[in-house]
Amino acid sequence: MSEYGATRARTATAQVPALADLDWPALEAQLDEPGFAMTPPLLSPGQCAEVIDMFDDDARFRSTIVMARHAFGEGSYRYFADPLPPLVQTLRERLYPHLAAIANRWAERLGERPFPETLEGLLDACAAVDQHRPTPLVLRYGSGGYNCLHQDVYGDLTFPLQVLIMLSRPDEDFTGGESVFVEQRPRQQSRPMVARPGLGQAVIFPVRGRPRLGSRGYHRVQMRHGVSAVHTGERHVLGIIFHNAR
């Protein structure tokens, strides 16, 4: 059995029943306007705590980034190593087909190449362009922590959608720390947006751009995302990125 297949077999131990109840047409409508989508809670409080506890287990991660060292912001994040934890693998694998359907409608609107229908197909395509390293990650921000506006591009192949899941309780575990999205529209001023997901809730958003309908048809608008300053406490987030890194 391949490493991917072995990991896939382990996902049976990680149950995320809320995934079956997601209203994907409604989520796609949110991605069209305002530009990001918020789900009901996907993870239980216990599952959120489980992922937070992983952060200090060095054996689970392939890389750690201290943001201040790179002028990215204040805080740190850690990329999971293969094999991914079963819960993270389950989320990555089960979310992907629905997001791929949306991504392929976007690709058709923009006249671009479609994406594979399965996560395995996407990871095979990543491997073909030397992108082998997994990209799901956990982020931790303390008081004063923030993340500058950025795009999560890790190589030539970029899947256009990603997901964040809030692991901490807003206004209890931390204050401040809103998710910030900025849409850069051609020949117009940029449009800022803010999301405040609750515990276990997910936000789906573009990695770097999305189609927008204008007077002459669809055109691409660029998007960046970041995190505003955390005022008090600690904020933990799980990030699910679908393409691998070079």
On whether residue 245 sits in a domain, the answer given is no
pLDDT at 83: 97
> 161: domain CATH number?
2.60.120.620
Q: What is the pLDDT of residue 203?
A: 98
Contact 183, 193 (CB under 8 A): yes
Flag whether 41 is in a domain.
yes
Percent of the chain at pLDDT above 70? Answer: 95
Mean pLDDT value of segment 86-100:
98
Per-residue pLDDT reduced to its tens digit, 161-182: 999 999 999 999 999 999 999 9
Residues 6+ apart with CB under 8 A from 108: 114
Most confident of 63-67, 181-185, 186-190, 216-220: 63-67
Residue 70: per-residue pLDDT:
96
- Res 5 pLDDT > 50: no
78 lies in some domain: yes
Structure tokens at 83: 């094999």
DSSP-assigned states of every residue in the chain: --HHHHHHHHGGGS--GGGGG--HHHHHHHHHTTS-EEEEE-S-HHHHHHHHHHTT-GGGEEEEEEGGGGTSEESEEEEEPSSPPHHHHHHHHHHHHHHHHHHHHHHHHHT-----SSHHHHHHHHHHTT--B---EEEEE-TT-EEEEE----SS---SEEEEEE-S-BTTTEEE--EEEEEE-TTS--EEEEE---TTEEEEEESSEEEEEETTEEEEEEEEEEEPPEEEE-EEEEEE--S-B-
246 assigned to some structural domain: no
Domain count, the chain: 1
Structural domain including 155 reads 3-240
